[in-house]
Structure 1
Amino acid sequence: MDNLSQRYLRLCQAYSQLAERYTKLDIDHMTLREKLVPFLMAFKYYKQMAEQLAAEKEALQRELNDLRDRHQLLVSQNGSAPVSDELLSALAEAEEQMALIEETLREQDTDPDPNLLPVEKQLLEEYTKGSGDFQALLPQSSSHSGVTA
């Protein structure tokens, strides 16, 4: 009987240790998720900002092309274009804005997250791809578990 009580005591101690470890893991998991939410919100914001900048670039490019077309039309009609200071200023400003947007887009293509450390970038890539340790956290990864309709 003494042997049975010792086995039961060891089982209870093991269960207690398991419960403590699970509680710690659960707290660590909740803390990580709480920290991940602001990061994901910032990521979403910057992605939307990049899309907005690309749309603005396209709009500015169309406006610039329209101005060039109108300029060429005036040149073809009059032999020389009447260039006003206002037109030159607007054209120069549009070209400066286009250059800034193109530079920003090039920088984003090169490094979309310049403020992140390489290890943080790797974690983000793993999270967005649903690979590595993040596979179990993403809802879509469970849909790829071999269940087909």
Structure 2
Amino acid sequence: MSDMVQVKGVADKSARNRNLASQYKIKAYEDYRDLINKEELDCLIISLPNFLKKECVEYAAEKGIDVFLDKPMARNYAEAKEIAHQVGRRGTRLMVGSNYRYHPSIRKIKDLWEEGRIGDVHLATSELIMNGPFSHPLTP
């Protein structure tokens, strides 16, 4: 692991997962609040079920900790706005992980739009088709 990154701990309700972390000499907590309160953290990676994200992000922001949040950011638009408001008023940073945000093809589309070469975008849809172990054939 990079000298610039240090895993201070993990939080998980699963005893099995906490034991696994301990095998790698990583501190493991049952509750994310204990991790936040007991460790000196620069940032927190949150990967939780969607209904739990808002509470955890707001708690981290309240403690002045920046957050990397897996997608989706929230269950709905109102909840996303509330998360953004709480993070913004506390002055912490939030980044939502998107799988293809920095993919070259996505960056190219964004660059073309920013250069004004695409024009006004009113609606955009995309479809990602990948062959993998759980993919379904495209033809019946």
Q: What's the TM-score bracket when you normalise by the shorter of the two chains? A: under 0.3
More helix by share: 1
More strand by share: 2
